[in-house]
Amino acid sequence: MKGKETEREEARTRPSKEARGHLDRERVLATAARLVKRHGPEALTMRALAAELGTAVTSIYWHVGNRESLLDALVERTLADLGEIRATGRTPAQRVASVARALRHQLLDHPHLVAMVHERGLTERMFLPAQRTLVHEVHGAGLRGARAADAVRAVQVHVVGHILVERNRERAPQQHPGEEELWTARTAEEDGALARALAGPHDPAALFDVSVKALVTGLLGPAP
Amino acid sequence: MKGKETEREEARTRPSKEARGHLDRERVLATAARLVKRHGPEALTMRALAAELGTAVTSIYWHVGNRESLLDALVERTLADLGEIRATGRTPAQRVASVARALRHQLLDHPHLVAMVHERGLTERMFLPAQRTLVHEVHGAGLRGARAADAVRAVQVHVVGHILVERNRERAPQQHPGEEELWTARTAEEDGALARALAGPHDPAALFDVSVKALVTGLLGPAP
DNA sequence: ACCTGAACACCGTTCAAGT
DNA sequence: ACCTGAACACCGTTCAAGT
């Protein structure tokens, strides 16, 4: 169901709480990754990590420097594990859109990654692998030079932007006034269906689909 | 050069450091806003704020509750001050795109606002005023019902997403390998112009323009 | 080479005590 | 009604001292 867990297994077989044995960079990173995965990056305090490792807080510093570089290493590792993006579909527009969708799903699989990457200013770097695929597909669509570069970057920004907003929405508190109470047929210029759509629940996947199709259509369409 | 500073002036005429006098919610908020504007929200500690106000740290709590609700109030106030968005241009596509651009500029004028709103999950609320304008313009373009709602939301997400990514890029450290060293004619499938464009400096405004035009074209174009 | 506890300089927040 | 300092429970980090 998760795929490619190879040597991660051995770490999980021995009991985690009291697993002291010897401490090394690998064990620190693995344990930290587990904590982040379960409770989010803000829950990763040096003291909590030390408790989980069964060592003194200060021992961690010897292996990973400090908290900041520990998180850097975690992000680095996750990025390296992401795996390639492949395009599917027949038409150029379909193929470009498929890359965007694949990218989105990859990031949704790592709930905390986007925020951590964002905070570290690594957003660009995160997309370098996918950029090559995008370049290829945009070429396949017949775009060249600066216009091709614009298309690649536009799709990139669109995907990250969408995910950032989407994750944000999930944890957003109920707002007053929110879309629900704001939009009635009267406020929506008598367009009842629009009012219902704006007041109703969000479907991020559907919205992503619509907007990415529109964007790609516009990008690959006739030059201005 | 900055516009609309009315009663803000009086606060600046008296010396800020030692301005004690009586403390009230208004003065706490104003001083906090000044600190955030100058050094960012992370620099707003209760102790620093107390020092600036010339009071004990704990006095602040009586007026604003705690740090979190203080920041909430600041965000609230800034949002309320934003002012309306008006569309310009002749064609429907131009008018919708102009709303997106106006929104972007409004947010760029408040460097810390987007991040603060993002952290608080208020992204949606931030856009409620602009939503009405968007609904009107999308109607003007002939869209109705669910399709109109999709268009409105797609533009919204696009603008915030773009700004989040853009602000992120500004503070991003130099990356290795970055786009500069990755893209040569050889890696770019012999498209030298594309390689130069991807390796060269970013122009966020231009990219925003291109992508928003493409998105709007796609959204207002013939239904799928 | 690795691990430790004590100590430091920060946080936000609570609370009893003042006026 | 408002302001205060002392105290608490957290942080990340440094460092001299241990083995």
User: pLDDT tens digits for A170-195?
Assistant: 777 666 667 888 888 888 889 999 99
pLDDT over 60 (residue B127): yes
Determine what percent of chain B is predicted with pLDDT higher than 70.
88
- CB-nearest partner of B214 from A124, A148, A219: A219
Determine what percent of chain A is predicted with pLDDT higher than 70.
88
pLDDT over 60 (residue B209): yes
> Taking the CB of residue A3, how many other CB atoms lie within 10 A of it?
5
DSSP A116-149: HHHHTT-HHHHHHHHHHHHHHHHHHTT--HHHHH
Cβ of residue A22 near strand C, that is under 7 Å? yes
Q: Which of B160, B215, B216 has the highest number of chain A CBs within 10 A, making it the mutation to test binding with A?
A: B215
In the structure, how far is the CA atom of residue B66 from the C1' atom of nucleotide C16, in angstroms? Answer: 19
**Cα separation, A179 vs A189, whole angstroms:** 15
Q: A4 falls in which pLDDT band (50, 70, 90)? A: very low
Cβ of residue B35 near strand C, that is under 7 Å? no
Closest CA to B150 of B166, B134, B163, B164: B134
Cβ of residue B18 near strand D, that is under 7 Å? no
Nucleotide with smallest C1' distance to residue B22 CA:
D2
What's the pLDDT at B203? 94
pLDDT over 80 (residue B21): no
Q: A169 falls in which pLDDT band (50, 70, 90)? A: confident
Q: A3 falls in which pLDDT band (50, 70, 90)? A: very low
Q: State whether residue B121 sits within 8 Å of chain A by CB.
A: yes
Alpha carbon distance, N-terminus to C-terminus of chain B: 47
pLDDT, tens digit, 9 for 90 and up, residues B70-90: 999 999 999 999 989 999 999
pLDDT over 50 (residue B116): yes
pLDDT over 90 (residue B126): no
What's the pLDDT at A21? 63
Max mean pLDDT among A37-41, A128-132, B45-49 falls in B45-49
3-state DSSP call for residue B16? coil
What b/e sequence results for A168-201 when a residue is b if at least 16 CB atoms lie within 10 Å of its CB, and e otherwise? beeebeebeeebeebbeeebbbebeebbbbbbee
What's the pLDDT at A114? 87
**Cα separation, A158 vs B161, whole angstroms:** 7
Q: State whether residue B184 sits within 8 Å of chain A by CB.
A: no
Task: Tell me the helices (H) and strands (E) count for chain A, helix number first.
Answer: 12, 0
- CB-nearest partner of A157 from B154, B161, B197: B161
Q: B106 falls in which pLDDT band (50, 70, 90)? A: very high
**Cα separation, B114 vs B119, whole angstroms:** 9
Task: Please tell me which residue, A178 or B42, carries the higher pLDDT value.
Answer: B42
Can you give the pTM of this predicted structure?
Answer: 0.86
Residues 54-113 of B with CB under 7 A from strand C: 57-58, 61, 66-68
**Cα separation, A177 vs B47, whole angstroms:** 33
Task: Note the strand C nucleotides within 7 A of protein beta carbons.
Answer: 2-6, 10-16
pLDDT over 60 (residue B183): yes
DSSP 8-state assignment for residue A174: P
What is the nearest CA distance from A54 to chain B, expressed in angstroms?
32
Q: B197 falls in which pLDDT band (50, 70, 90)? A: very high
pLDDT over 90 (residue A10): no
Closest CA to B168 of A202, A169, A124: A124
pLDDT over 80 (residue B198): yes
Nucleotide with smallest C1' distance to residue A56 CA:
C4
CA dihedral A47, A52, A58, A60 (to 10 degrees): -120
What's the pLDDT at A97? 97
pLDDT, tens digit, 9 for 90 and up, residues A112-168: 998 899 888 788 788 888 999 999 999 999 999 999 999 999 999 999 989 988 887
pLDDT, tens digit, 9 for 90 and up, residues A81-99: 998 999 999 999 999 999 9
Determine what percent of chain A is predicted with pLDDT higher than 90.
67
What's the pLDDT at B173? 65
